[in-house]
Copies of this chain bind each other. A is one copy, B any other.
Amino acid sequence: MPDSPVLFLADTAPDGATTFTRADPGAAHVRVDDLGVTRGDGIFESVAVVAGTPQSLRHHLDRFTRSAALLDLPIPDTAAWARAVTDAAAAHPPAPELLAKLVLTRGVEGGDAPTGWVHVFPAPDHGPQRTAGIDVLVLERAYPSDVVTRAPWLLQGAKTLSYALNTASLRYARSHGAHDVVFVSSDGDVLEGPNSTVLARFADRWVTPPPELGILDGTTAGRALAWAAGRGDRTEVARLSADDLRVADAVWLLSSGRLSAPVRSLDGVPRPTDAALQAELLHHLLTVHD
């Protein structure tokens, strides 16, 4: 599979109408005084493109719009962004799994327009983690579970470009022999991973934590819950503690790129995984386009 990323740059008019132009992804397109880089002041979405089809694009664009509102950014012209994702995906050489990254920054400091782009590139190989599972550490996020209402200026629940602590948490996990992280609030609520949503199964009950905790409304988790409901199981958006995860029948971390990764250990303690169920869930996520 040739590594031939496709880049579409946004041009946003004062009325918000946005047009996209194809550009060379190997060239520089961001100025050093763009607030996206000097302040991490912007938002993003990562959309899976499976067999050429962007997955859950409407849900991603709705969340992109909510993130923009939380940051007082111009509301995205979602019709134009949707076309750009579809066109960029179509312009990429065919591949089983691609990622489309949508970015919108506050633009050049002192300027009057946001900076934006859609970047489509091959997804990393998640095969081993999907099959063998992942070792996960439970780490403090150090915020209370009511941070969104108490302190909206902290932007919890927005998918911002200020992700340094997420990548630092993943480095911390790797340096401690793990693959990934589940964050918990200061008052004991399971939150999310640095770039994933938590899903736990207790017999025929499937649970993912609620966005009111200041976490993202997981696109892939929503798809997984719909699949579980389709099997006749019960699905719930509800609070979980780390101890709940330790007694669950199975736990997954879900995200648009890796899709579903079974948690095979928590803080070094082996946890059961269910290879047949994982295969069924992953097959659904890879084949059903919604």
Contact = CB atoms under 8 A, between A and B. Distances in A.
A34 B152 CA distance: 28
A164 B165 contact: no
23 contacts: A25-B31, A25-B33, A26-B31, A29-B30, A30-B31, A30-B34, A37-B37, A37-B105, A37-B161, A38-B44, A38-B103, A39-B166, A40-B40, A40-B161, A72-B171, A140-B150, A142-B150, A143-B143, A153-B168, A153-B171, A155-B165, A158-B164, A162-B163
Interface residues of A, number: 58
Contacts of A160: 40, 164
A75 B34 CA distance: 24
Contacts of A152: 172
Contact of A28 (B31, B103, B144, B169): B31
Nearest to A44: B38
Contacts of A154: 141-142, 165, 168-169
A71 B164 contact: yes
A36 interface: yes
A42 to B, nearest CB: 8
B25 A28 contact: no
Interface string A30-61: 11111111111110100000000000000000
A33 to B, nearest CB: 7
A164 B105 contact: no
A238 interface: no
Nearest to A35: B167
A100 B161 CA distance: 23
A101 B147 CA distance: 32
A105 B186 CA distance: 30
A119 interface: yes
A27 interface: yes
Contact of A153 (B117, B119, B165): B165
Nearest to A70: B168
Given A40-B163, A142-B147, A160-B164, 17 more contacts: A29-B30, A30-B30, A30-B32, A32-B117, A33-B121, A34-B37, A37-B103, A37-B161, A38-B44, A40-B40, A71-B164, A139-B153, A152-B172, A153-B169, A153-B181, A154-B168, A155-B168
